[in-house]
Structure 1
Amino acid sequence: MGTIKEIALESGYSPATVSRLLNNDPNLSITADTKNKILKIANKLGYWEDHQEKKIKPTVALLYRVNHKEQLQDEYFTSLKQALVSTVERDALKMKTFYDIEDLIKNASLFQGFIGVGAEPIENAQLVKLHKVLPNGVFVDTNPAPELFDSIRPNLPFTVKNAIDLFIKNGINKIGFIGGVGPKHDHIQENDLRSITFVEYMKTRGMDTKWTCVEGTVSVENGYKLGKMVLAKYKNDLPEAFLIASDTLAVGVLQAFNEENVNVPKDTKILSINNSNVVKYVSPPLSSFNINQKEMIDMALDTLTHLIIRPDRPKIDIRMNTNLVVRKSFVPQEK
């Protein structure tokens, strides 16, 4: 298929420049426009079909979307960002962070692709604009536009089902769920995948879903509010265990339970999701499903690199399984 000489001829750059770029010469200094043009022609001429072992080093943008209103929720995405920065430094890549999608759109020509981190809503019209100028993008943990961009996400349906199965294996059949509402896309409120999966899977197992409490945002404050609501309604009829949609909510729920002298794990057990640092230090420490952020970031960069050299392939949505980290809020006897 396409050779370095053919790419050089069509691009108007020397074979030496083309070769140094495609072989990741760290001392090569060229503009982003030059890099984009050479890579585009390399794709067009099918260069990568005969050089699949090669791995390019793209210049990438980070689109970082957090609201800075909820510390624990922000910490999760901050950790993802730090994992990305560490990996970029390890692999000697170039990256610039953007906090506003319009700024990234204006500067799109400087990059071969982007990684999206964070959960702040983005208008679909903005995502379409971004795709027109920078179509190579991978969102981590969320994907507001799966028809436009790739994504690497934790396998939350698997996690919820795994939690329910684990409770049942340990003789627990009265199971509650506490969660927040899902994301908004283009002003449309979506249901959270964890709560949907919980209700559907509990029904398939023939189990009662009356202890399901889903309302509000993912925040410690809302977790506290939901904990109080649950106790006001079910204090004399608590389930044997709760699955809580995130550690951020679980911290607030645990605070509410402690204030009302509900003993965890004696009166009810708790499983949470995320395995953030804080859950080791609350009382009792929370058993939580770990989301391997480093692996998600590594997978996101590999997926982006593959997309850059295979821009016409179908979009990818990868779900990565979680693993349970056991602490005092629930210690399973049967796994």
Structure 2
Amino acid sequence: MTTIKEIAEKSGYSSATVSRLLNNDPNLSITADTKNKILELANKLGYWESHQGKKIKPTIALLYRVNHQEQLQDEYFISLKEKIIETTKSQGIKMEVFEDINDLINHASLFQGFLGVGSDEISINSLQKLHKVLSNGVFIDTNPAPNLFDSIKPNLFLTVKDAINQLLKVGYEKIGFIGGLGQKFDHIQEKDIREIAFKEYITTRNIKHAPMYVSGPFSVENGYQLGKLAAKKELPQAFVIASDTLSVGVLQAFNEAGINVPRDVAIISINNSDVAKYVSPPLTSYNINQEEMVLQAISMLTDLIMRPNRPYEEVNVNTNLIVRKSFIPKK
């Protein structure tokens, strides 16, 4: 069994310093370099295996990547950021926010790990550089490099399947989809998981009339344009819309075209953002539990710092439907 005395002797620091660090003394004042050296040695000596009930409070960074071009589009990630700041503060974890990955790379030695949030484009080259200097990282909601970092995400594949099932239960046979493009990684445009899930599941359920309108960003303006396009075509009985932000634009377009929701077409949205309650009609929307994702992400990061050689993990958190007026499911 690895002891604090053994770590102290091999690290060159006093037993008191090592003990205070490993027991999360909030009043301990040591440099980031000292902290990293002691924790690295504790990992090598297998300290955590023989003290499995213990947890550490690391000093971490938050890599926050948003483009600030659309307020509602960024609202989801702004909310995530606020919950991360609130949770780390309540747990006594020190954290610094970075919006530029190169800035974080240059200051990596100050931290034991990082959390990643946001949808702005990022290159695999930058992520590889970050991994070399700060390998312990957990991305929340999306993971641009699953072979390099952990991630925790909402289970959007299951969410879309459940939405289709809810619509089928009330007898709808014509179900459409409105969505945006997925993220870009290294200039490669990926398909959004919600679009993939919809295409796959309508085939599984043998839904013949399933129009899809997918293009552009997850913004109100793009939702408006897609809604205008859908309004000119034969409407399905319901739409699954990939985000509340898009839904706001779609509702504007439908209102201008004289299309009544839910009388003419029902809508199930995703995100359950604050705006979902205040549009007309209020949106039935799947709630993404950001608080739970943040708690699990911090736990995953702490575990990764203590066991850096374990396999990388991807965790999915299920959503729950919040019923409002745009669609009433069958009880």
Q: Same fold (TM over 0.5)?
A: yes
Aligned partner of 1:281: which letter?
Y
1:233, CA displacement in angstroms?
A: 2.1
Aligned partner of 2:215: which letter?
E
Residue 285 of structure 1 is matched in structure 2 by: 282
Is structure 2 residue 259 aligned with structure 1 residue 262?
yes
**Does the 8 Å contact 1:181/1:191 carry over to 2?**
yes
Q: 1: CA distance between counterparts of 2:212 and 2:9?
A: 64
Structure 1 length-normalised TM: 0.98
The alignment's C-alpha RMSD in Å is 0.7
Greater CA drift, 95-104 or 210-219: 210-219
Aligned partner of 2:20: which letter?
R
Local SS of the residue matching 1:203? helix
Residue 314 of structure 1 is matched in structure 2 by: 311
The CA deviation string for residues 256-287 of structure 1, in whole angstroms up to 9 with x for no partner, is: 00111100000010000000000100000000
How many residue pairs end up in the alignment?
331
Q: 2: CA distance between counterparts of 1:297 and 1:54?
A: 20
Structure 2 length-normalised TM: 0.99
Aligned partner of 2:253: which letter?
A
**Does the 8 Å contact 1:63/1:98 carry over to 2?**
yes
Structure 2: give runs of 5+ residues left out of the alignment. none
Aligned partner of 1:223: which letter?
G
- Pairs within 5 Å for 1:1-335: 1-234=1-234, 238-334=235-331
Aligned partner of 2:187: which letter?
H
1:209, CA displacement in angstroms?
A: 5.0
Aligned partner of 1:244: which letter?
I
Give the direction of change, closer, same or farther, for the CA distance of 1:307–1:209 in structure 2 (3 Å limit). Answer: farther
Q: 1: CA distance between counterparts of 2:75 and 2:233?
A: 32
Q: 2: CA distance between counterparts of 1:111 and 1:73?
A: 30
**Does the 8 Å contact 2:177/2:210 carry over to 1?**
no
Q: 1: CA distance between counterparts of 2:209 and 2:115?
A: 38
Local SS of the residue matching 1:88? helix
Give the direction of change, closer, same or farther, for the CA distance of 1:319–1:98 in structure 2 (3 Å limit). Answer: same
The CA deviation string for residues 132-180 of structure 1, in whole angstroms up to 9 with x for no partner, is: 0000000000100000000010000000001011111111111000001
1:127, CA displacement in angstroms?
A: 0.1
**Does the 8 Å contact 2:174/2:210 carry over to 1?**
no
Local SS of the residue matching 1:285? coil
Identity %: 66
1:89, CA displacement in angstroms?
A: 1.1
Q: 2: CA distance between counterparts of 1:288 and 1:95?
A: 32
The CA deviation string for residues 47-96 of structure 1, in whole angstroms up to 9 with x for no partner, is: 00111111100000000000001111111100000000110110111100
**Does the 8 Å contact 1:61/1:98 carry over to 2?**
yes
Local SS of the residue matching 1:176? strand
**Does the 8 Å contact 2:113/2:135 carry over to 1?**
yes
The CA deviation string for residues 107-147 of structure 1, in whole angstroms up to 9 with x for no partner, is: 00000000001010111000000000000000000100000
**Does the 8 Å contact 2:64/2:99 carry over to 1?**
yes
**Does the 8 Å contact 1:114/1:136 carry over to 2?**
yes
Aligned partner of 1:290: which letter?
N
Q: 1: CA distance between counterparts of 2:125 and 2:142?
A: 18
1:253, CA displacement in angstroms?
A: 0.3
Q: 2: CA distance between counterparts of 1:84 and 1:52?
A: 25
Aligned partner of 2:310: which letter?
R
Q: 2: CA distance between counterparts of 1:245 and 1:208?
A: 20
**Does the 8 Å contact 1:202/1:209 carry over to 2?**
no
Q: 2: CA distance between counterparts of 1:320 and 1:209?
A: 30
